[in-house]
């Protein structure tokens, strides 16, 4: 990254495992050290394309210098998604698909670029309402908060 160049956080959704969309429309705008956040329907289990298998495509993504974060949506293969190793990243639990391809788990909070993000999904809305109230009422700077999930603090 050139001196003075800003890191970007791009937000999108509904990639649905479309390799063509990723290569032609998304990959072309991302620079080194940028982050893209896919808000649902990343497409785990649906990335098989005409030329690359899903795992080959993830290998391609792992060679890129940007970071891919995603929140699961209803168009994921949850059995496959949950088979990836769980790890801690930026203060919350994640599934690491590759080092730079990271699934943000619902109910967790993450410190990203000195901002605190709380991940929730429609399927867990009733549980997350209490967590959201806690989050909105008790925000803390990322470096001051404990390394716990929001639900553990309720």
Tens of pLDDT, residues 14-62? 898 889 889 999 999 999 999 999 998 898 888 888 778 999 999 999 9
Backbone φ, ψ for residue 111 (5° rounding): -100, 110
pLDDT at 143 over 60: no
Q: How many CB atoms lie within 10 A of CB 27?
A: 15
Q: Which pLDDT does position 147 carry in this prediction?
A: 44
Q: What is the pLDDT of residue 56?
A: 92
Give residue 103's pLDDT. 97
The DSSP secondary-structure symbol of 127 reads H
What is the C-alpha separation between 104 and 146, in angstroms, rounded? 18
Q: Torsion angle, CA of 87/10/70/128, rounded to 10 degrees? A: 90
Look at residue 149 and tell me whether its pLDDT is greater than 50: no
Q: Give the residue extent of every domain in the chain.
A: 9-153
| CA-CA-CA-CA dihedral for 13, 27, 118, 111, to nearest 10 | -170
- The per-residue pLDDT for range 77-115, each reduced to its tens digit, is 999 999 999 999 999 999 999 999 999 999 999 999 889
Nearest residue to 61 (alpha-carbon basis) of 96, 88, 86: 96
Residue 67 and residue 36: Cα distance in Å, rounded? 6
Higher pLDDT, 63 or 5: 63
Shortest CA distance to 126 belongs to which of 151, 101, 104? 151
């Amino acid at each position: 990254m050139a001196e003075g160049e800003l890191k970007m956080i791009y937000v999108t959704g509904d990639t649905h495992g479309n390799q063509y969309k990723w290569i032609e429309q998304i990959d072309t705008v991302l620079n080194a050290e940028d982050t893209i956040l896919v808000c649902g329907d990343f497409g785990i289990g649906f990335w098989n394309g005409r030329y690359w298998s899903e795992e080959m495509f993830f290998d391609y993504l792992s060679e890129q210098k940007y970071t891919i974060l995603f929140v699961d949506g209803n168009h994921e293969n949850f059995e496959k998604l949950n088979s990836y190793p769980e790890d801690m990243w930026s203060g919350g639990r994640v599934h690491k698909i590759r080092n730079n391809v990271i699934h943000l788990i619902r109910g967790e909070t993450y410190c990203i670029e000195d901002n605190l993000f709380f991940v929730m999904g429609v399927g867990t809305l009733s549980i997350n309402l209490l967590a959201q109230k806690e989050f909105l009422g008790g925000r803390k700077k990322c470096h001051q908060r404990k390394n716990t999930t929001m639900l553990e603090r309720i």
